[in-house]
Amino acid sequence: MAELSIIYVGKKPTMNYVLAIVTQFNNNVEQITIKARGKSISKAVDIAEITKHKFIKELKYQSIKLDTEVMEGERGQSNVSSIEILLTR
């Protein structure tokens, strides 16, 4: 089993990501990073908080990093904020 895992937050419902994280921790993954950009950042925080308060009480936020990524779009470059939340149990 992998010991490190990354979850990219997109358009799926919040609980899909929560259940994916809970399942991975139950399969001996030791660290999971939640990554999100732009409007999905709020959902990433929801996912982390729901996982911690409803499912895995001993969950810890090992680190929370904010960054800015440059995106290539049809109208040229644009900047988008991102978050990385590293979870350990």
Residues in contact with a second copy by the rule CB under 8 A? 38-42, 45-46, 48-49, 53, 61, 64, 66-68, 79, 81-83, 85
Give the strand pairing for 31-37 and 4-8: parallel
Q: C-beta of 28: minimal distance to a second copy in Å?
A: 25
Nearer to a second copy, 27 or 63 (CB): 63
Q: Which is nearer to a second copy, 1 or 70 (CB)?
A: 70
On whether the CB atoms of residues 34 and 20 are closer than 8 A, the answer is no
- Within the chain, how many helices (H) and strands (E) appear? 2, 4
Kind of pairing between the strands at 31-37 and 76-88: antiparallel
Minimum distance from residue 41 beta carbon to a second copy (Å): 4
